[in-house]
Amino acid sequence: MIQDKILLVDDREDNLMSIELTLEPDGYQCVKARSGREALKILLNQFDFALILMDVNMPNLNGFDTATLIYERERLRHIPIIFITANNYGDENMFKGYRSGAVDYIYKPVNPALLRTKVGVFVDLYRKNRQLREQERRMSIINKNLEEEISERKASEEKVNELNHQLLEYIGRLEAANTELDRFAFMASHDLQEPLRKIRMFCDRLSIKYRDRLDEEGQMFINRIQNSGARMQALIEDILTFSKISFDNNPLEETDVNSVIKEILSELDDQIVEKKAVITVGEIPKLNLIQGLMYPLFQNLLSNALKYSRKDVRPEISISSEMLELNENGDENQIGKYCRIYIRDNGLGFEQQYAEKIFAMFSRLHQGPEYQGTGIGLALCKKILEQHKGFISARSAVNKGATFILSFPVYNSVAAEVPTRARVED
């Protein structure tokens, strides 16, 4: 059986020995490095690590800088990094760590059970990814063999059909593996909710019962636990929502998008009033859609438009639609009929070069406590459009707002013409 390799990086030998002894019962192969530079030398020749456990505070080259240098190499970008630190960094440094490639933090003194649990989760993900890469490699070999058979031997139709059948089998296995990964994410997120609920519940009890006995610093620590728990709860709920979409087999049915938007605006009324936002909604035709997915789609886009507004600038958001003949790439080429819905705002915006990156999982362009989020919302929107065989794109410029464009394919029973726009009150 192949041992999973873990790279341990710390300038203190006793810390390396302690972590190695903690992980020893699980049968991992631990490779030790006593500095960031030594870790980089090891990674020049070895890149099959399942995980890197790295101390942040090291002389000469600290953990953040080492992680940045590691991820400059394409072949190393798949290796997750967990930082181990004795310091409680502020939000800015925490974000710095995550931007440099960290997937998690563990604080000293290290809790052995917590360490083994976290390492186990990431090693399990590594094994599944390794299986996928192996299947992709096999598919690549099959494709190459198929091309060689056709060009060099002019294989018979029977032989070609046989190889095609094998290729379809491997594609089916790859799709099954992807489905298994989605189910794994769903189950893992679901199982995390119960212990998290207990953590938050007992933290609340501790805060209430011992409020008079805790000093200001103790109350601050409890507040940080509560805030971190709330952020983790939001992340788990977003991951569950994202995973559920993969298994959503609900049929298309005629949907009144205007009613969905009206319901969302009612839910967001406090924010709209607080920011004195002006929202204009044009009439959108009824479409054949998966009704249950429309609320999270428009809720994410509209709440983002309010969240990323500019300071001292009154938010202006408009929603409109039009019917077009488009191809699958969004070009006007008389291939299929689509209903295109535009959501425009005058907020912070972003550089157009990031227009595709923003739809990736955990991608966030704006950092800071005033822009809290999990980085899953727009990835969720993209997945919902894909479930409808449609597509989503964005146009933007810094401090000039953003326009999100949703293109839904129009099926037989749709729609009336798009009426003139109507104004929604402040």
> Over the stretch 378-396, which tens digit does the pLDDT of each residue have?
888 888 888 888 989 999 8
The stretch 228-251 carries a mean pLDDT of 64
pLDDT band at 320 (very low <50, low <70, confident <90, very high): very high
424 or 308, which is more confident: 308
pLDDT band at 178 (very low <50, low <70, confident <90, very high): low
Length of the chain in terms of residues written:
426
**Is the separation of the CB atoms in 55 and 31 below 8 Å?**
no
Least confident of 83-97, 279-293, 338-352: 83-97
What is the per-residue DSSP string for 135-156?
HHHHHHHHHHHHHHIIIII---
Residue 413 clears pLDDT 60, i.e. is over it:
no
pLDDT of residue 426: 34
Q: Which domains does the chain have, with CATH numbers?
A: 5-116 (3.40.50.2300), 155-246 (1.10.287), 253-424 (3.30.565.10)
Report the chain's mean pLDDT, rounded to a whole number. Answer: 79
Rounded CA separation 32/140 (Å): 35
Task: Work out whether strand 402-409 and strand 287-289 pair parallel, antiparallel, or are unpaired.
Answer: unpaired
**Is the separation of the CB atoms in 319 and 280 below 8 Å?**
yes
Residue 352 clears pLDDT 60, i.e. is over it:
yes
Which of 297-301, 318-322, 355-359 shows the highest mean pLDDT? Answer: 318-322
Work out the percent of the chain whose per-residue pLDDT is above 70: 75
Rounded CA separation 359/344 (Å): 17
pLDDT of residue 53: 92
pLDDT of residue 280: 92
CB proximity list for 3: less than 8 A, separation 6 or greater: 27, 28, 29
Task: Note the pTM of the prediction, 2 decimals.
Answer: 0.45
pLDDT of residue 425: 37
pLDDT of residue 380: 83
Identify residue 223 by its one-letter amino acid code: N
CB proximity list for 282: less than 8 A, separation 6 or greater: 318, 319, 320, 321, 418, 419, 420, 421, 422
**Is the separation of the CB atoms in 174 and 136 below 8 Å?**
yes
pLDDT band at 278 (very low <50, low <70, confident <90, very high): very high
CA distances from 103 to 79, 91, 127, 362 (A): 10, 15, 17, 11
Work out the percent of the chain whose per-residue pLDDT is above 90: 17
32 or 155, which is more confident: 32
